[in-house]
Structure 1
Amino acid sequence: MINPHRFSIGPAGAEIAMLQWGESGKPPALLVHGTGFVADVWDEVARELASTYTVYALDRRGHGASHKPSTYHFLDFADDVCRVIDALGLHDVYGIGHSAGATDLLLAAKLLPGRFTRLFVMEPTIMDPRAARAGGLDGEALSRVQGALRRQAEFDSHDAVFNRYRAAPAFVDWTETSLRAYVRHGFVPLGDGRVRLCCTPEIEAAMLRPIYEAMTQVYVGDARGNPFTSLTEIDCPVRVTTAAKSGPIYKVMAARAVSLIPQVSTLVFEGAGHCVAQEMPAAVVEAVRELAKEFAK
């Protein structure tokens, strides 16, 4: 088994950590993980796709070995994706993303017209700007954002993390390979042998605020405004997928995406939860390849 090549894009202090599976020269596929995770959680999917594609994945800002800046708005993440594509000189990119990482790709497709051949987005975080509501987060949403601050950040060892997470409902259906990849690369060793989350509770809470604002239709953006109107201008085919066992809000947001994106189709992963690529990687690989066949260029 060949390990992925690790490198980074950008200057010190603003680097984006990258993985590459497979040889250069093949059509590029760019994989973007969801909130809280790292590029390595794509490993099982990426290894299979590497027979056809040069597969890249990034640690999103605030995650893994990437930079930890002060802002985590949707366009910040989308700009990072554009930085990667420009730095690597990628064209005809197959974008494959999960949750908020799927949103990164959708927004990047508008920022870089003509650079993507197709997008495969699993339960993206979406608001419908046509139905925006006034006001901020309600008490329940605020409680969920603040709940991230109570997440345990340090553990005695990587094995201690794995044993705790293996029994947690959010990870119980993950493959062992995917969970070990997250534990190995999502936690940084400390000097005393303990390990600490790379995406700290404080960073995760900062990320979750705009996510919950989008979920509840109150996101207004920053000085750049609300970016979701740009989804109506995406110039490539997009497949929006949902998972049968995930929460209702993910299906609501997927329906919002479908209503906004011009060249859109849908797929449901039966028997899977929100993290389908880490639960059923073979099914994701098959679906990704099927979309490529339908829109071969």
Structure 2
Amino acid sequence: MNHGGIVYERLGRGEPLLLLHGLGHRRQAWDPVVRALAERYEVFALDLPGFGQSAAPDPDHPFGISAIVDTVQAWCESRGLHRPHVVGNSLGGAVALELGARGLASSVTALAPIGFTSALEMLGSRLLVGGMRVATRVPAKVWHTVIDSHPVRALTTLALHGRLRDPRGGLSRLDLAVVTRGSAYTRLAPEVVRYSFGGGRGVACPTTIAWGEDDRVLPIRALARVLAAIPHARQVRLMGCGHVPMENDPATVVEVILRTCRTTPAVPITDPAPAA
């Protein structure tokens, strides 16, 4: 489905629940958990602006985390979704928390969200971003050969899943389109590595921060900073999971999400119609 330039999948009935993917990913990242969640909720898995099938803002327009939050907020308002439950991974986790800080979420479940790691811990990510910038100046055929090589695929798999085999038994591949010059990834990545979540005290809704023990992209040490930023947040350590835990252990991730959602009273699916 496409609404307001945002492409999404909708499944199930009940209170609304948004699923927001990470940087360079797409809505299909949630495939391992979406059907289980749809047994209890009306689930919306979104392609964030510039990723998957959703269009990126015009190059002349601002494109950053705040702009993405604004877009998701406007999308919810245009559909009449009132304070949905919001679940996000990595970049999507930060968007979920920012929506919570604006009072726009009934609950927030953030899986390894950006915004809590130190400058030193982000060094690897900064080097990766620099490498991606160089890559945009390399002929596409050469770059495709590099990213499809066994060593690069092995390192990608290790970074995302904390092991040298992904949950499907193979090796992960980078999406070549993601790292082309002017792509949403290359426009957004520099801000992502600098971003620090500062709205913790404003997140009043039930909040869970869950982190994979084997996350090689954003170290689990960042969990220690979450409590200082969001004192009431529940912290969950996900054993045997990497940076994309819904692929490593979908059953546990579903339970983490459901437990967070169950701590809130029921919310209307849409805003009530105005009185006649």
Name the TM-score class by shorter chain. Answer: 0.7 to 0.9
Give the corresponding residue for 1:260.
229
Contact 1:118 1:238 in 2 (8 A): yes
2:216 to 237, 247, 257: 247
Give the corresponding residue for 1:193.
none
Matches within 5 A, 1:61-210: 61-69=49-57, 70=59, 71-111=62-102, 113=103, 115-127=104-116, 142-150=126-134, 167-171=153-157, 172-176=164-168, 197=177, 200=180, 202-203=182-183, 204-210=185-191
Q: 1:199 to 1:21 in 2, by over 3 A?
A: farther
- Quote the Cα distance in structure 2 between the aligned partners of 1:147 and 1:75: 25
Contact 1:124 1:254 in 2 (8 A): no
CA offsets per residue over residues 97-131 of structure 1, 9 Å max, x none? 100110011112223x2x42211101111159xx9
Give the corresponding residue for 1:26.
14
Contact 2:153 2:171 in 1 (8 A): no
CA offsets per residue over residues 152-173 of structure 1, 9 Å max, x none? 9968xxxxx9996995343354
Shift of 1:17: 1.3
- Quote the Cα distance in structure 1 between the aligned partners of 2:188 and 2:258: 31
- Quote the Cα distance in structure 2 between the aligned partners of 1:264 and 1:92: 18
Shift of 1:258: 2.6
Give the corresponding residue for 1:237.
206
Q: Secondary structure at the match of 1:36?
A: coil
- Quote the Cα distance in structure 1 between the aligned partners of 2:35 and 2:124: 40
Is structure 2 residue 262 aligned with structure 1 residue 293? yes
More displaced stretch, 200-209 vs 85-94: 200-209
Contact 2:132 2:179 in 1 (8 A): no
Q: 1:67 to 1:270 in 2, by over 3 A?
A: same
Percent of counterpart pairs with the same letter? Answer: 22
Shift of 1:150: 4.9
Shift of 1:202: 4.0
Q: 1:68 to 1:233 in 2, by over 3 A?
A: same
Q: 1:164 to 1:46 in 2, by over 3 A?
A: farther
**What is the letter of the counterpart of residue 9 of structure 1?**
H
- Quote the Cα distance in structure 1 between the aligned partners of 2:44 and 2:171: 19
- Quote the Cα distance in structure 1 between the aligned partners of 2:191 and 2:229: 19
Q: 1:274 to 1:16 in 2, by over 3 A?
A: same
Contact 2:179 2:186 in 1 (8 A): no
Q: Secondary structure at the match of 2:198?
A: helix
Contact 1:127 1:256 in 2 (8 A): yes
Q: Gaps spanning 5+ residues in structure 1: where? A: 1-6, 156-160, 188-195, 216-227
Paired residue total:
250
Shift of 1:237: 0.9
Q: Secondary structure at the match of 1:273?
A: coil
| TM-score, normalised via structure 2 length | 0.76
Shift of 1:85: 1.2
Query: What is the RMSD of the two structures over their aligned residues, measured on CA atoms?
Result: 3.6
Shift of 1:95: 0.8
- Quote the Cα distance in structure 2 between the aligned partners of 1:93 and 1:179: 35
| TM-score, normalised via structure 1 length | 0.71
Q: Secondary structure at the match of 2:154?
A: coil
Q: Secondary structure at the match of 1:170?
A: helix
- Quote the Cα distance in structure 1 between the aligned partners of 2:178 and 2:240: 31
**What is the letter of the counterpart of residue 147 of structure 1?**
G
2:6 to 5, 16, 21: 16
Q: Gaps spanning 5+ residues in structure 2: where? A: 142-146, 158-163, 267-276
- Quote the Cα distance in structure 1 between the aligned partners of 2:82 and 2:151: 38
Q: 1:51 to 1:162 in 2, by over 3 A?
A: farther
Q: 1:198 to 1:261 in 2, by over 3 A?
A: same
Give the corresponding residue for 2:45.
57
More displaced stretch, 98-107 vs 88-97: 88-97
